[in-house]
Chain A
Amino acid sequence: MSLSDATARPAAPSRLAGLPVALAALFCLACLVCVIGADWIAPYGEADLVAMPWQAPDLAHPLGTDQLGRDMLSRIIFGARTSIGLSLAIVTLAFAVGGALGLAAVTLGGWADAVISRIVDLFMALPPLVLALLALSVSGTSLVTLTLTAAFIASLRVFRLTRSLGIDIAARDFVDVARLRRDSTARIMWREILPNAAIPLISEFGLRFVFAFLFVASLSFLGLGVQPPMADWGGMVRENVGALNYGRLTPLVPAGFIALLAISVNLIGDWLVARRGGGR
Chain B
Amino acid sequence: MLVILAKRLAMGIVLVLMASALLFFAGELLPGDFATKLLGSSATPETVEALRRSRGVDAPALARYLQWLGGLFRGDLGTSLTNGREIAPLIATRLKNTLILAGAAALIAVPLAVGLGTLAAIFRNRLFDRAILVLSMVTVATPEFFFAYMAIAVFAVNLHWVPSISIITAGMSFERMLPLLALPVLTLVITSCAHMIRMTRASIVSVMDSDYVGTALLKGLPEWKVVVRHVLPNVMSPIAAVVVLNLADLVVGLIIVEAIFAYPGMGQLMVDSVSKQDITVVQACGLIFAATYILLNMIADLLAIALNPRLRYAR
Q: Does B277 contact A (CB under 8 A)?
A: yes
With A122-B18, A224-B271 already in contact, the answer to whether A134 and B26 are too (CB < 8 A) is yes
B99 within 8 A of A: no
Q: Do B30 and A138 have beta carbons less than 8 Å apart?
A: yes
Q: Is the CB of A237 within 8 A of B201?
A: no
The number of residue pairs between A and B whose CB atoms lie closer than 8 Å in the complex comes to 156
B297 touches A2 (CB 8 A): no
Q: How far is the CA of A2 from the CA of B250 in the complex (A)?
A: 8
Is A55 positioned at the interface, with any CB of B under 8 Å from its CB?
no
For B169, list chain A residues within 8 Å (CB): none
State which of A10, A133, A252 has its C-beta within 8 Å of the C-beta of B146: A252
In the complex, what residue of chain B is closest to A221 when comparing beta carbons? Answer: B145
Q: Mark B152-178, 1 if CB is under 8 A from A, else 0.
A: 110011100000100000000000000
CB within 8 Å for A256 and B146 given contacts A2-B249, A127-B252: yes
Shortest B100–chain A CB gap in Å is 20
- Within 8 Å by CB of A255, from B143, B290, B293, lies B143
- Of the 9-residue stretches B56-64, B217-225, B253-261, B302-310, which lies at the interface with chain A? B253-261
Q: Which residues of A contact B251 (CB under 8 A)?
A: 127
A258 and B143 in contact, given A122-B15, A134-B282 (Cβ under 8 angstroms): yes
A221 touches B143 (CB 8 A): yes
Q: How far is the CB of A198 from chain B (nearest CB, A)?
A: 25
Q: How far, in Å, is B151 (CB) from chain A's closest CB?
A: 11
Pair A2/B277 contact, Cβ less than 8 Å: no
What are the residues of chain B within 8 A of A245 when measuring CB–CB?
157, 164
Measured between C-beta atoms, what is the minimum distance from B78 to chain A in Å? 15
List residues 116-142 of chain B with CB under 8 A from any CB of chain A: 125, 133, 137-138, 140-142
Q: Which residues of B contact A11 (CB under 8 A)?
A: 125, 133
Chain B residues positioned under 8 Å from A244 (CB to CB): 149, 152-153, 156-157, 164
Asked if B231 is an interface residue, CB under 8 A from chain A, the answer is no
Q: Is A167 an interface residue (CB 8 A)?
A: no
* Choice from A10, A137, A241, A266 contacting B273 with Cβ under 8 Å: A137
Distance in angstroms from A122 CB to nearest chain B CB is 6
CB of B277 within 8 A of CB of A4, answer no
Question: Which residues of B are found within 8 Å of A234, using beta-carbon distances?
Answer: 143
CA distance A98 to B27 in the complex (A): 25
Q: When chains A and B are docked, how far (Å) is the Cα of A218 from the Cα of B254?
A: 12
Q: Say yes or no: is B230 at the interface (Cβ < 8 Å to chain A).
A: no
Q: Whose C-beta in chain B lies nearest to the C-beta of A233?
A: B143
Q: State whether the Cβ of B208 lies closer than 8 Å to any Cβ in chain A.
A: no
Known: A130-B286, A252-B153. A4 touches B245 (CB 8 A): yes
Q: How far is the CA of A3 from the CA of B199 in the complex (A)?
A: 13
- The stretch from B45-53, B87-95, B188-196 touching chain A is B188-196
B:14-31 near A, CB below 8 Å: 15, 18-19, 22-23, 26-27, 29-30
Q: Is the CB of A138 within 8 A of B29?
A: yes
A141: nearest chain-B partner, CB-CB: B275
Q: Which label, helix, strand, loop or mixed, suits the secondary structure of the A interface? A: helix
Is the CB of A171 closer than 8 A to any CB of chain B? no
CB distance from B17 to the nearest CB of A (A): 11
The 0/1 profile, CB within 8 Å of B marked 1, for residues 263-279 of chain A is 10011001000000000
- Chain A residues with CB under 8 Å of B250's CB are 2
Contacts of A218 in B (CB 8 A): 143-145, 256
Cα distance A256–B145 when bound, in Å?
10
**B-contact 0/1 string along A98-117, CB 8 Å cutoff:** 00000000000000000000
A263's contact among B142, B195, B199, by CB below 8 Å, is which? B142
Say whether, besides A127-B252, A224-B274, A266-B141, A8 and B192 are in contact (CB < 8 Å): no
Quick check: A135 and B26 within 8 Å, CB to CB? yes
CB distance from B109 to the nearest CB of A (A): 11
Q: How far is the CB of B258 from chain A (nearest CB, A)?
A: 10
Beyond A137-B277, A234-B143, 12 additional pairs, beta carbon < 8 A: A2-B194, A3-B140, A8-B201, A11-B125, A125-B19, A126-B293, A130-B293, A133-B271, A133-B282, A138-B30, A138-B279, A263-B137
Q: List 30 A-B contacts (CB under 8 A).
A: A2-B249, A3-B140, A4-B245, A4-B246, A6-B198, A11-B133, A126-B293, A127-B290, A130-B286, A130-B289, A133-B270, A133-B271, A134-B26, A137-B282, A214-B141, A218-B145, A221-B145, A222-B259, A224-B271, A244-B156, A244-B164, A245-B164, A247-B158, A252-B149, A252-B153, A256-B146, A258-B142, A259-B138, A259-B142, A263-B141
